């Protein structure tokens, strides 16, 4: 983002016909939008595009989720029909949604599968999620998709996710990147508790132990502990940052990919804002690491990009306030 | 609100094609919207109308604010010109804004003054804010305005405020209604600190001491410690509740009026939702008392109804999710 635009935006914010600081974090967000655009006042944030990276996870067959893996392809169909949670939010707020089968454990036809890497990803506590070639292919797929969305005019990108079991690799990726043990990062996902939760913590820790020092390298981290959909999202975000297009992060899956994007393309996080705080502990830990404070904190844990889409009106609010409010100097005093 | 609709809405929420509880507080908000409408699924919340009650306060001449009282009429002109903070937000989100000079310490012409009660209100630490007749007239004005907005089709109402010094009577009203001392409720308003802040606390406590037992009666409380604009907003909210139209609360001024509305019309608070958490301590204390949890928490303290208008897209999001998302039973599993 532009340091010059940031400074100019902060100056304009201080000169608005509002008490100093009265806009709170909406003001900070406005300054960030202006810095990412390199324009003061910022342009209205009209063209927002969300991409949902869908994929299954080998760990889902090992009791880490409250839902069976068969839900993943059914949900992909629901996105295509425009009837999922994120669809309703996106429709309300004029956000374009594209869903991609990156690694669903089913054979889906048509454009949804145009970037498919494989069926499912490896069960990370006993095997690598991907081969090195698959990791590269997934990163490249995400990069291509980001470029397509940017070329289609996106001013702001969102990465969503769908895949039963996905909070397990997300927790592992964050733990590995932050140097934390499984017990600190593992959450309840769609709703596991008791023995199933204990089993999930154990699986994350087994995965971390299995990966060992390989996690010092971001690509190896994705190969060992990630999944094709998470790698694609990381490539998507790294490319957005490289192209200078801001990204609004969603929950723990999106933020895990963002952590990897920052490792792959250092400085990328400056192009990211956090849409919401999810209930997953790894998400908050990773946002702290990235230096991001979420806009919303509503206890949401739906995934699909829903928390980010719900926050889009706040990003728009921030931009219009900095753009349209009179300056104190214009007041008739 | 309808208990039947609330129960039906909760049942529908539990049956959506999302994990149980995954929508977090967005789900709770959806249930509240449905209960206020008495309709499941809820209608989209399209017609939102905000009324800004403007008025000056005698205490502003006693060093409680960082800004001079002359700012109040200048800001009223800015609302009329559609160039204030709330104007930009309302324009972005399709919210109608009406500004009324209830007690500005200036002579304004035209429809803006059609409900004017008086110029300014008394300095509450040394005199009553209003005469009993003025309090009644202000409550009635708010009631008439609410009825007009409801007759114009409002599905959701917002009460905003403008008036230098207004956090002082708001803090006094909340302290009196909750039985708290000045030191616990007084905040920094537009930005007072040091000696000015100590003076503000002293003025609020002097006002509370002066009012004594009169605060046991809500109308007397407004007469002694309020102002014409705060009384009008209280009448506005009480009437909205009586008419069964929900209100989205803003910051400390709006919430102080809501506390009085609940005292005037017990049960009214069930029709209120909290748009945001402001930085004023009295606002959080009063929201707790009303049993409300704010939607946004962005450190905003602009007033004008801005925090509530910024939260409108979340109310709309909640309603559309409960309305438009497929049911789990519809999933192809």
CB A108 within 8 A of CB A214: no
The more confidently predicted of residues A184 and A65 is A184
Which residue of chain A comes nearest to B44, CA vs CA? A92
CB A275 within 8 A of CB A295: yes
The token pair that represents A214 in the structure block: 């390989």
pLDDT in tens, A258-316: 999 999 999 999 999 999 999 999 999 999 999 999 999 999 999 999 999 999 999 99
d(CA B76, CA B73): 5
pLDDT (tens, 9 = 90+) of chain B, 333 residues, equals 999 999 999 999 999 999 999 999 999 999 999 999 999 999 999 999 999 999 999 999 998 888 999 999 999 999 999 999 999 999 999 999 999 999 999 999 999 999 999 999 999 999 999 999 999 999 999 999 999 999 999 999 999 999 999 999 999 999 999 999 999 999 998 888 889 999 999 999 999 999 999 999 999 999 999 999 999 999 999 999 999 999 999 999 999 999 999 999 999 999 999 999 999 999 999 999 999 999 999 999 999 999 999 999 999 999 999 999 999 988 867
Which chain B residues touch A19 with a CB distance below 8 Å?
Answer: 66-67, 190-191, 301-302
In the numeric block, which tokens belong to residue A84? 């999922």
Report the C-alpha gap between B288 and B292 in whole angstroms.
6
Q: Do A93 and B21 touch (CB under 8 A)?
A: no
Residue B71: predicted pLDDT: 94
In terms of domains, do A54 and A16 share one? no
Q: Chain B contacts of A87, Cβ < 8 Å?
A: 324-325
Please indicate whether, in this complex, the C-beta atoms of A191 and B75 are within 8 angstroms of each other: no
A302 and A325 in a single domain? The answer is no
Considering the domain architecture, whether residues A145 and A269 belong to the same structural domain is answered as: yes
Same domain for B254 and B240, yes or no, is yes
Q: Is the dihedral of CA B33, B39, B41, B44 positive or negative?
A: negative
Query: Residues of B with catalytic annotation?
Result: 304
Taking contacts as CB-CB distances below 8 angstroms, the residues of chain B near A83 are 17, 324-326, 330
- Domain residues for the domain of A21 are 3-43+320-330
Task: Reduce the DSSP state of residue B109 to 3 states and report it.
Answer: coil
Q: Are residues A10 and A98 in the same domain?
A: no
Among B67, B324, B333, the residue with its CB nearest the CB of A88 is B324
Is the pLDDT at A332 greater than 80? The verdict is: no
At residue A333, does pLDDT exceed 90?
no
A34 in the same domain as A57: no
Do the Cβ atoms of B45 and B158 come closer than 8 Å?
A: no
Cα nearest neighbour of A293 on chain B:
B298
pLDDT (0 to 100) of residue A137:
98
Q: Which residue has the tokens 């930009």?
A: B88
Task: Write the ipTM.
Answer: 0.97
Q: How far is A91 from chain B (nearest CA, A)?
A: 9
Contact A88 B325 (CB under 8 A): yes
pLDDT of amino acid B191 = 86
Are residues A52 and A39 part of one domain? no
Contact A300 B25 (CB under 8 A): yes
B304 φψ region: left (φ > 0), alpha (ψ -120 to 50), beta (else):
left
Question: By the 8 A CB rule, do B231 and B118 touch?
Answer: no
pLDDT confidence band for A102 (50 / 70 / 90): very high
Q: Could you tell me the CA-to-CA distances from A84 to A36, A55, A77, A267, A288 in Å, in that order? A: 30, 16, 9, 33, 30
Instruction: Quote the number of domains for chain A.
Output: 2
Find, in chain B, the residue whose alpha carbon is nearest to that of A303.
B22
| Same domain membership, residue B74 and residue B35 | no
pLDDT at B221: 98
Mutation for testing the A interface, residue in B16, B21, B22, B28 having most A CBs under 10 Å: B22
Which string of DSSP letters, residue by residue, matches B234-263? HHHHHHHHHHT--EEE-SHHHHHHHHHHHH
Amino acid B92: pLDDT? 98
| pLDDT reported for residue A313 | 98
Statement to judge: residues A162 and A114 lie in one domain: yes
Residue B105 belongs to a domain with what CATH number?
A: 3.40.50.10210
Q: Do A124 and A22 share a domain, yes or no?
A: no
Q: What is the CATH number of the domain that holds B37?
A: 1.10.1610
Looking at residue A63, its pLDDT comes to: 87
Same domain assignment for residues B158 and B34 = no
Residue B331's pLDDT is: 80
B143 close to B235: Cβ distance less than 8 angstroms: yes
**Alpha-carbon gap: B209 to the closest alpha carbon of chain A (Å):** 30
Distance CA B142, CA B55 (A): 13
B123 and B209, same domain (yes or no)? yes
Report pLDDT digits (tens) over A150-161.
999 999 999 999
């Amino acid at each position: 983002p532009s340091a010059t635009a940031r400074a100019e935006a902060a100056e304009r914010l201080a000169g608005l016909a509002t008490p100093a600081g009265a806009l709170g974090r909406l003001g900070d967000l406005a300054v960030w939008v202006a810095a990412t655009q390199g324009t003061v006042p910022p342009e209205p944030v009209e063209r927002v595009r969300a991409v949902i990276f869908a994929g299954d996870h080998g760990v889902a067959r090992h009791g880490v989720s409250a839902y069976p893996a068969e839900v993943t392809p059914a949900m992909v169909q629901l996105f295509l029909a425009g009837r999922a949670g994120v669809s309703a939010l996106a429709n309300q707020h004029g956000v374009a949604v594209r869903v991609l089968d990156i690694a669903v454990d089913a054979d889906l036809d048509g454009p949804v599968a145009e970037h498919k890497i494989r069926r499912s990803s490896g069960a990370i506590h006993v095997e690598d999620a991907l081969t090195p070639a698959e990791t590269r292919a997934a990163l490249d797929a995400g990069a291509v998709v980001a470029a397509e969305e940017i070329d289609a005019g996106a001013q702001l990108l969102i990465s969503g996710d769908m895949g039963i079991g996905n909070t397990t690799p997300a927790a592992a990726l964050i733990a590995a990147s932050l140097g934390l043990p499984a017990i600190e990062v593992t959450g309840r996902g769609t709703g596991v508790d008791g023995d199933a939760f204990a089993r999930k913590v154990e699986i994350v820790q087994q995965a971390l132990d299995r990966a060992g020092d390989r996690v010092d390298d971001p690509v190896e981290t994705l190969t060992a502990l990630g999944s094709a959909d998470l790698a694609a999202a990381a490539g998507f975000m790294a490319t957005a940052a490289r192209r200078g297009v801001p990204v609004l992060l969603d929950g723990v899956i999106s933020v895990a990919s963002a952590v990897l994007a920052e490792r792959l393309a250092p400085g990328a996080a400056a192009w990211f804002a956090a849409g919401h705080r999810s209930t997953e502990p790894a998400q908050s830990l990773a946002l702290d690491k990235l230096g991001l404070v979420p806009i919303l904190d509503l206890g949401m844990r739906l995934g699909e990009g829903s928390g980010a889409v719900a926050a889009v009106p706040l990003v728009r609010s921030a931009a219009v306030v900095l753009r349209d409010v009179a300056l104190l100097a214009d007041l008739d005093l």
